[in-house]
């Protein structure tokens, strides 16, 4: 049996990406604008809208990364130096870093058990406490981790009650749904990522989704160096160079043709793990809490309860798989535990810390075949012995 490295999540081309790239070359659209950029935005818009009737005004701006999209969302919400922004603690650092770019203060919030995402109870406690200390937070950054939708209705209710807009970090959740509505359409601003490890990729890229054409225009303006209308270069705002390349957007157009297949394949991988661990004591595959939730299962996640697993710990399994050339990774280390963020406020009860301690992400790529699966299965069963 081959011992090639099995990755957690690797790019998976559909085949037609190269045609879009070729057409960019033929037309000499080698630039951060062009037909592929417009087409990719249109593809995303059609995709997100299809299950979201009534949302006819959805607008998408293709950007150079998901991180850039979060940064622009914060700018468009008027976040400035000294402001506070609420942010799910258990996430990838890119959810929180743009808060720092603006000189604002992140206020981190714990996860709840059911979805691993921002806990509505702790969020409300945090909001009340920040307001009582004299500062109302400017935004809530909520994340659909590993593709699992956060508690959309609870978070929406809190957002409305306190009038604090949500930035929906849907970087890992393209193709996921809550009550039949697509993730990426729930926030005042929503963001997507097309980094190399995501469910579809443009090698690197992202998008900002909004209901407002005005906001999209402003985002594109800021993403293209904030050039005022004038024959010379004139600027009355600080601008950024955040637009997506027409080459990358061509990859995105090809990937959109196979997105549904990619979601199906990731969900198949998840089912493979559900079957594999069904009879293993102390290991739980992390599943949707109810029919309302539909995860793309970007990454399949297990939790190990060492009191029931014969003392087996997350690191034991991770190292054992590594020795067999199979990549796995602990869950995102919560931001409030990160050296760079330890001095910032955190509201929670230790849920994210515990999940980080016991959780492991397993190989989940849509391009893993039967042979890979058999190798993963034998490796895991061997490691559990």
Which residues in this chain contact ligand PLP in the complex, by CB under 6 A? 65-67, 91-92, 94-95, 143, 169, 171-172, 193, 195, 206
- Cβ neighbours of residue 15 under 8 Å, at least 6 residues apart? 254
Identify which of residues 171 and 379 has a Cβ nearer to ligand PLP in the complex.
171
d(CA 123, CA 369): 41
d(CA 220, CA 226): 8
CB of 259 to ligand PLP, least distance (A): 16
Q: Which of 138, 151, 198, 355 is catalytic?
A: 198
Helix or strand holding residue 349 (H, E): none
Q: How far is CA 228 from CA 68, 79, 131, 231, in A?
A: 21, 22, 38, 9
- Whether 148 contacts 270, CB under 8 Å: no
CB of 41 to ligand PLP, least distance (A): 16
Active site residue 198: yes
Beta bridge mates, 322: none
CB of 176 to ligand PLP, least distance (A): 12
CB of 381 to ligand PLP, least distance (A): 30
- The phi and psi torsions of 290 (rounded to 5 degrees) equal -160, 175
d(CA 235, CA 350): 47
Identify which of residues 207 and 302 has a Cβ nearer to ligand PLP in the complex.
207
Q: Which residue of the chain is nearest ligand PLP when measured via CB?
A: 66
Measuring CA to CA, which residue among 271, 295, 11 is closest to residue 147? 295
CB of 335 to ligand PLP, least distance (A): 11
- Cβ neighbours of residue 11 under 8 Å, at least 6 residues apart? 196, 197, 201, 203
Residue 57: other Cβ atoms inside 10 A: 11
Identify which of residues 91 and 159 has a Cβ nearer to ligand PLP in the complex.
91
d(CA 107, CA 110): 10
Identify which of residues 183 and 283 has a Cβ nearer to ligand PLP in the complex.
183
Identify which of residues 277 and 332 has a Cβ nearer to ligand PLP in the complex.
332
CB of 63 to ligand PLP, least distance (A): 9
- The phi and psi torsions of 75 (rounded to 5 degrees) equal -60, -45
Identify which of residues 248 and 309 has a Cβ nearer to ligand PLP in the complex.
248
Residues annotated as catalytic (active site), given as ranges: 198
């Amino acid at each position: 049996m081959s011992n090639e490295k099995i990755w957690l999540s690797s790019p998976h081309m559909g085949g037609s990406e190269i045609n879009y790239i070729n057409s960019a070359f033929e037309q000499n659209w080698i630039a951060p604008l062009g037909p592929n950029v417009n087409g990719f935005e249109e593809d995303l818009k059609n995709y997100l809208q299809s299950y979201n009737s009534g949302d006819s005004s959805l607008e998408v701006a293709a950007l150079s990364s998901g991180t850039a999209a979060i940064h622009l969302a914060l700018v468009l919400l008027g976040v400035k130096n000294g402001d506070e922004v609420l942010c799910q603690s258990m996430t990838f650092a890119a959810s929180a870093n743009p808060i720092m770019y603006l000189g604002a203060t992140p206020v981190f919030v714990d996860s709840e058990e059911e979805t691993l995402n921002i806990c509505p109870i702790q969020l409300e406690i945090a909001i009340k406490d920040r307001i009582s200390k004299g500062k109302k937070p400017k935004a809530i950054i909520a994340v659909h981790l590993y593709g699992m939708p956060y508690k959309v209705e609870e978070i929406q209710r809190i957002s409305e009650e306190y009038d604090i807009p949500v930035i929906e970090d849907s970087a890992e959740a393209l193709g996921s749904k809550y009550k039949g509505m697509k993730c990426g359409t729930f926030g005042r601003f929503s963001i997507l990522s097309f980094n190399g490890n995501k469910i579809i990729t443009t090698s690197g890229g992202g998008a900002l989704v909004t209901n407002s054409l005005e906001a999209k225009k402003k985002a594109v303006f800021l993403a293209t160096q904030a050039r005022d209308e004038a024959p010379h270069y004139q600027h009355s705002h600080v601008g950024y160079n955040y637009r997506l390349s027409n080459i990358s957007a061509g990859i995105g157009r090809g990937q959109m043709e196979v997105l549904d297949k990619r979601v199906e394949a990731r969900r198949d991988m998840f089912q493979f793990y559900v079957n594999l661990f069904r009879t293993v004591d102390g290991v739980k595959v992390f599943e949707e809490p109810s029919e309302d939730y539909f995860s793309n299962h970007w990454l399949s996640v297990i939790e190990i309860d060492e009191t029931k697993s014969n003392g087996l710990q997350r690191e034991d399994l991770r190292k054992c798989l590594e020795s067999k050339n199979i990549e796995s990774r602990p869950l995102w280390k919560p931001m409030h535990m990160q050296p760079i963020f330890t001095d910032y406020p955190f509201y929670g009860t230790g849920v994210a810390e515990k999940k980080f301690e016991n959780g492991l992400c397993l190989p989940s790529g849509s391009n893993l075949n039967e042979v890979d699966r058999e190798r993963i299965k034998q490796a895991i069963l061997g490691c559990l012995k």
